[in-house]
A and B are shown apart, each in its own frame.
Chain A
Amino acid sequence: MPTVTIDGRRVTVREGAYVLEAARLAGARIPALCHHEAVEPIGACRLCVVDIWKPGWDADSFRLVASCLYPVEEGLVVHTATPRVMETRRVALDLLLARCPETPLVRDLAREYGIEETTYRKRENPDDCILCGLCTRICDKVGPAAISTQSRGVLREVAPPFFEAPPDCIGCGACAEVCPTGHIKVTEDGFTRTIWGKTFEMLRCPSCGRAYLTRAQAEWMAGRGMPVEPLCDSCKRRRTAEVAASLGRPR
Chain B
Amino acid sequence: MDPVAVDLAPLDGILARYPAEESSLIQVLQDVQRHYRYLPRPALERVAKALGVPLARVCSVATFYKAFSLVPPGEHVVHVCMGTACHIRGAPQVLDELWRRIAPDANGDTADRRFTIKAVNCVGACAAAPVVIVDGRYHGGVQATKVAKVVGLEEGGRAS
Q: Which residues of A contact B (CB under 8 A)?
A: 136, 139-140, 144-152, 160-162, 166-168
Contacts and interface: CB of A to CB of B under 8 A. Distances in A.
Most A CB contacts (10 A, CB to CB) among B41, B57, B63, B64 go to: B63
B56 interface: yes
A145 B56 contact: yes
B41 A162 contact: yes
B55 A161 contact: yes
B64 A168 contact: no
B54 interface: yes
Given A145-B54, A148-B57, 15 more contacts: A136-B56, A144-B54, A145-B57, A146-B54, A148-B54, A148-B59, A150-B59, A150-B60, A151-B64, A152-B63, A152-B64, A161-B44, A166-B56, A168-B54, A168-B56
Given A151-B64, A152-B64, A162 B59 contact: yes
A161 B41 CA distance: 10
Interface of B: 41, 44, 54-60, 63-64
Contact of B59 (A139, A144, A152, A161): A161
The 9 closest A-B pairs by CB, nearest first: A145-B54, A148-B60, A148-B56, A161-B59, A150-B63, A151-B63, A161-B55, A152-B64, A161-B56
A125 to B, nearest CB: 15
Contacts of B41: 162
Nearest to A153: B64
A167 B58 CA distance: 13
A150 B58 CA distance: 10
Contacts of A147: 56
Contact of A149 (B44, B55, B60): B60
A160 B56 contact: yes
Contacts of B56: 136, 139, 145-148, 160-161, 166, 168
A144 B57 CA distance: 11
B82 to A, nearest CB: 16
A167 B55 contact: yes
Contacts of A150: 59-60, 63
